[in-house]
């Protein structure tokens, strides 16, 4: 399986200058930025987070995952060339890659069921906690068995917080830190408790550096841009959906293999796009029960055709029309129309928005 290269780009807006521009210029700059970043979603996995008001030194994060590092350079150059570019700096940036751990990350009670991922698959958690991490050189001088014991203890503590998902990537030799750790979680309290617990583990003695810490809030691109202040544009993008006859291009069909699912955006709305049995299907990504991310659900075939089961509490929905087939969802989930044109471009539309 291909390893991936990962980039955490933290940007800062020069608000003292940007917010003095006319509203029209602010709006133009934001829309230019959004259009540019949106186009890169075809080339890489790209998630957007706001840190406005949570840290003084950075305002937002673009979490990027790609096959080649040059995609990150091209995105950054394209951002510089937008009308928002002159007001942005990137005070912090972490480059890393996926790699198999040299430690056994399974616990004895797992009985071989734990699989290590070298593919980054961000979930839909509202928070992301990111920091660069360096171990002391004394750590590397310890015998492998001693380090393994400490790692096992560390993993055991982490298992007490099953709702926190850890994405560790490696930076040896390609950036200043050794690792970048990115924890996805539902709230800051669980993460505070987890980190406090980890301070008492033996491995903690071998931490050289684990700052700066970043608490990031998961936001769709347009909302993230609006969180910077100034003229608001998210509503304009909803109007743009209407101007395109209701259809929005969201993906390339060639990028999908049977059974794939992906998160795409319809304006500011998250949509789970599925490719099953030669057909595309689109459902509102938020499960009606408790907003679980359907794009991470399990796809099955049964007497009702293709279906997806919510990863959080296992409500099951038809991919055809979003109706509840099983489980505790109080209602059906919204379904989107999907079509593929002659050039293999995938478009989605909200049923009531289509006017052809």
Positions that interact with ligand FES (CB under 6 A): 287, 289-290, 292, 310, 312-315, 327-329
Q: Which is nearer to ligand FES, 284 or 329 (CB)?
A: 329
Q: Contact 126/197 with Cβ under 8 angstroms? A: no
Chain mean position to CA 86:
26
Secondary structure letter of residue 266 according to DSSP: E
**Closer Cβ to ligand FES, 84 or 308, answer by number:** 308
Cα dihedral 21, 24, 25, 27, rounded to 10, equals 110
Min CB(324)–ligand FES separation in Å: 10
Q: What is the CB neighbour count within 10 angstroms for residue 197?
A: 15
Say how far residue 105 (Cα) sits from the centre of its chain.
Answer: 23
Q: How far is CA 317 from CA 200, 222, 309, 330, in A?
A: 44, 28, 6, 12
Q: Give me the least distance between CB of 163 and ligand FES, in Å please.
A: 12
Place of tokens 């990504």: 285
What H or E segment, with its residue span, contains residue 356?
none
Q: Which is nearer to ligand FES, 41 or 291 (CB)?
A: 291
Helices (H), 315-356: none
- Minimum Å gap between C-beta 346 and ligand FES is 25
> CA-to-CA distance for 309 and 286, rounded, in angstroms?
12
Closer to ligand FES by CB, 97 or 293: give it: 293
The token pair at 342 is 């002659």
Residue 132 or 292 having the CB closest to ligand FES: 292
| Identity of the residue, 69 or 324, whose beta carbon is nearer to ligand FES in the bound complex | 324
Q: How far apart are CA 77 and CA 62, in angstroms?
A: 14
Contacts of 111 by beta carbon, 8 Å cutoff, 6+ apart: none
Least CB distance to ligand FES at residue 309 (A) = 8
Nearer to ligand FES, 318 or 329 (CB): 329
Rounded to 10 degrees, the C-alpha dihedral 106/68/261/32 comes to: 130
Are the beta carbons of 118 and 139 closer than 8 angstroms?
no
As measured in angstroms, the least distance from the Cβ of 189 to ligand FES is 20
For ligand FES, the closer CB: 87 or 127: 127
Any residues with CB less than 8 A from the CB of 200 and at least 6 apart, and which?
none
User: How far apart are CB 311 and ligand FES at their closest, in Å?
Assistant: 8
H-state helical runs in 199-337 = 221-226, 234-243
Q: Which is nearer to ligand FES, 156 or 331 (CB)?
A: 331
Q: How far is the CB of 335 from ligand FES (least distance, A)?
A: 16
């Amino acid at each position: 399986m291909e390893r991936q290269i990962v980039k955490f780009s933290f940007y800062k807006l020069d608000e003292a200058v940007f917010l003095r521009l006319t509203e029209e210029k602010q709006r133009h700059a934001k829309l230019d930025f959004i259009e540019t970043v949106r186009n890169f979603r075809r080339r890489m996995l790209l998630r957007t987070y706001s840190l406005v008001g949570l840290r003084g030194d950075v305002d937002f994060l673009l979490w990027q995952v790609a096959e080649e590092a040059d995609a990150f350079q091209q995105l950054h150059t394209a951002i510089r060339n937008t009308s928002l570019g002159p007001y942005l700096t990137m005070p912090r940036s972490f480059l890393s890659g996926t790699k198999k751990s040299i430690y056994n990350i399974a616990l004895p009670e797992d009985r071989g069921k734990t699989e290590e991922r070298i593919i980054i698959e961000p979930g839909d958690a509202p928070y992301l906690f990111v920091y660069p991490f360096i171990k002391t050189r004394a750590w590397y001088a310890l015998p492998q068995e001693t380090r393994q014991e400490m790692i096992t203890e560390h993993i055991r503590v982490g298992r007490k917080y099953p709702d926190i998902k850890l994405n560790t990537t490696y930076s040896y030799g390609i950036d200043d830190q050794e690792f970048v750790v990115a924890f996805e979680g539902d709230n800051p309290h669980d993460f505070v408790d987890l980190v406090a617990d980890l301070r008492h583990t033996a491995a903690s003695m071998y931490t050289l550096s684990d700052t700066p810490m970043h608490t990031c809030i998961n936001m769709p691109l347009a909302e993230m841009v609006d969180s910077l202040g100034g003229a608001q544009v998210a509503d304009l993008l909803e109007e743009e959906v209407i101007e395109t006859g209701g259809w929005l291009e969201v993906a390339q069909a060639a990028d999908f293999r049977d059974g794939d699912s992906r998160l795409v955006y319809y304006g500011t709305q998250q949509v789970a796009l599925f490719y099953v049995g030669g057909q595309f299907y689109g459902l509102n990504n938020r499960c009606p029960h408790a907003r679980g991310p359907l794009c991470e659900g399990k796809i099955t075939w049964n007497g009702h055709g293709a279906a997806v089961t919510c990863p959080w509490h296992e409500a099951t929905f038809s991919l055809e029309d979003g109706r509840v087939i099983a489980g505790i969802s109080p209602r059906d989930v919204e379904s989107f129309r999907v079509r593929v044109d002659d050039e293999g471009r995938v478009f989605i539309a909200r049923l009531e928005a289509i006017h052809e």
